[in-house]
């Protein structure tokens, strides 16, 4: 049986199909529970949540499913320390986005304040609520933290964008490694070298990790249907993590506009850019991303760039000026077929055996 793999066994799920967690309010309890209840594993991106919000979320998830699910955090959630952004740096970054604020008639935000890392407090909340699985990106938690999770029986999933990162995760003893290729939607979660120096495609990354690392690997980036799952398995993956295709379903936390865009011709054109948050990530090209392309050095570091983008996105949405927003999405969007997560999942499960014959 194709679905009986190390990944499905270690995570205690029927099908080694993981719904990729989405940060930034795009995850939903409905999507996570739909996928988990069907025998896969739903994932919720919680990096923006406070510890109390994480505890409340976990309660909701436990009510929505009695199957394994995953809560995801960002190990590194800030690229600057207090006082690092000078007045001149702020003015430069503000000048870049000012024409967009003028266009939607919204005031430019003031210079943002220091942003302390939330990770350790979020970890405490997870250890208290005990989700079945904890996944993380943008780094490797300390051995003490990893051991605390193991002691509570919580399975661990780390994300790698290079073979070196996979080896680091393997040495740290995680249960599953996600091989995150550059085709994927969302941020590039590199942590050993810069994301720009870590741009490996899923096809190569899965084979490299399978060859050199003993921890089971799940492929992420560019998989949206049974054909993609079968291809990943042929390359040595024992599971897959699917993001963009689930983001585009009505169960996700994405707006209707965003979901329709992912199913439209516009989604053929994606870009890897820092303009939305200050960290490199893949989304659909827009007038906003194209105007700011080439200005990466003038942006504020993550997450401060967000403090421009969040109010701009809100004002642009109210005025329906969607070309002033970057909507997240991966390169696989043009092959998407389903608007229901349930139907997407069921189609994959039904069709994979045909491809693996
Ligand atoms: C909008 C968006 C937000 C994401 N946020 C996170 C996140 O917070 N944590 C995480 O581990 N992965 C995140 N990802 C990556 C997905 O979980 C998944 O690995 C990726 O989307 C797989 O590639 P695909 O988009 O080609 O299917 C995000 C992806 C998208 C599209």
pTM above 0.75, yes or no: yes
Total structural domains in the chain?
A: 1
Residue-level length of the chain: 357
Asked, for residue 229, whether it belongs to a domain, the answer is yes
Asked, for residue 249, whether it belongs to a domain, the answer is yes
Asked, for residue 308, whether it belongs to a domain, the answer is no
Q: Cα separations (Å) of 160 from 140, 172, 233?
A: 10, 13, 18
Asked whether residue 246 carries a pLDDT value surpassing 60, the answer given is yes
> pLDDT tier at 117 (50, 70, 90 boundaries)?
confident
Mean pLDDT of 209-220: 98
Task: Please write the tens of the pLDDT for every residue from 273-324.
Answer: 999 999 999 999 999 999 999 999 999 999 999 889 999 999 999 999 999 9
Q: Which residue has its alpha carbon closest to ligand 1 atom 8?
A: 23
Mean pLDDT of 53-67: 98
Residue from 63, 40, 26 nearest 344 by CA = 40
> pLDDT tier at 357 (50, 70, 90 boundaries)?
confident
> pLDDT tier at 78 (50, 70, 90 boundaries)?
confident
Q: What percent of the chain has pLDDT over 70?
A: 99
Asked, for residue 91, whether it belongs to a domain, the answer is no
Q: What percent of the chain has pLDDT over 90?
A: 92
Asked, for residue 72, whether it belongs to a domain, the answer is yes
What CATH number corresponds to the domain at position 193?
3.20.20.70
Residue-range definition of the domain harbouring residue 75: 6-80+116-264+335-355
For ligand 1, the distance from its centroid to the CA atom of residue 139, given in whole angstroms, is 15
Contact predicate 154/123, CB 8 Å: no
Lowest mean pLDDT among 4-13, 179-188, 295-304, 324-333: 295-304
Asked whether residue 49 carries a pLDDT value surpassing 70, the answer given is yes
DSSP state of 14: S
Of 104 and 113, the one with more pLDDT? 104
Asked whether residue 83 carries a pLDDT value surpassing 70, the answer given is no
- Which residues, other chains included, contact 348 with Cβ-Cβ below 8 Å and sequence gap of 6+? 17, 225, 226, 229
- Which residues, other chains included, contact 310 with Cβ-Cβ below 8 Å and sequence gap of 6+? none
Asked, for residue 341, whether it belongs to a domain, the answer is yes
119-129 and 143-151 helices, crossing angle to 10°: 10
Asked, for residue 94, whether it belongs to a domain, the answer is no
pLDDT for 231: 98
Q: What is the mean pLDDT of the chain?
A: 96
Q: Name beta bridge partners: 282.
A: 186, 272
Ligand 1 binding residues, C-beta < 6 A? 20-23, 26, 45, 47, 72, 135, 137, 159, 180, 183-186, 220-223, 241-245, 247, 328, 330, 332
Asked, for residue 200, whether it belongs to a domain, the answer is yes
For ligand 1, the distance from its centroid to the CA atom of residue 21, given in whole angstroms, is 6
Mean pLDDT of 114-121: 87
């Amino acid at each position: 049986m194709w679905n009986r793999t190390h990944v499905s066994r270690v995570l205690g799920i029927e099908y080694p199909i993981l719904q990729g967690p989405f940060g930034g309010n795009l995850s939903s309890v409905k999507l996570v529970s739909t996928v988990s209840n069907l025998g896969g594993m739903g994932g919720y991106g919680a990096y923006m949540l406070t510890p109390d919000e994480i505890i409340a979320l976990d309660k909701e998830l436990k009510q929505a499913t009695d199957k394994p699910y995953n809560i995801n955090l960002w190990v590194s959630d800030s690229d600057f320390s207090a006082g690092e952004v000078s007045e001149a740096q702020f003015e430069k970054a503000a000048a870049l986005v000012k024409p967009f604020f003028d266009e939607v008639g919204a005031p430019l935000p003031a210079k943002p304040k220091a942003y302390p890392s939330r990770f350790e407090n979020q970890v405490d909340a997870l250890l208290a609520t005990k989700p079945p699985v904890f996944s993380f990106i943008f780094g490797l938690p300390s051995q003490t933290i990893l051991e605390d999770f193991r002691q509570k029986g919580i399975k661990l999933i780390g994300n790698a964008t290079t073979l070196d990162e996979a080896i680091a995760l393997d040495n740290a003893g995680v249960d599953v490694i996600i091989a995150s290729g550059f085709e994927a939607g969302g941020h590039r979660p590199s942590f050993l070298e810069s994301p720009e120096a870590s741009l490996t495609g899923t096809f190569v990354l899965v084979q490299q990790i399978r060859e050199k690392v003993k921890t089971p690997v799940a492929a992420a980036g560019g998989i949206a249907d049974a054909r993609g799952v079968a291809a990943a398995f042929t390359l040595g993956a024992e599971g897959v993590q699917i993001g963009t295709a689930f983001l585009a379903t009505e169960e996700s936390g994405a707006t209707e506009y965003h979901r329709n865009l992912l199913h439209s011709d516009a989604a053929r054109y994606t870009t890897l850019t820092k303009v939305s948050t200050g960290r490199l990530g893949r989304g659909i090209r827009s007038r906003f991303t194209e105007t700011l392309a080439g200005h990466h050095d003038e942006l504020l570091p993550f997450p401060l760039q967000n403090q421009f983008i969040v109010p701009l996105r809100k004002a642009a949405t109210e005025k329906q000026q969607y070309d002033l927003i970057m909507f997240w999405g991966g390169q696989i969007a043009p092959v998407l077929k389903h608007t229901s997560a349930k139907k997407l999942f069921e189609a994959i499960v039904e069709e994979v055996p045909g491809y693996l014959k």
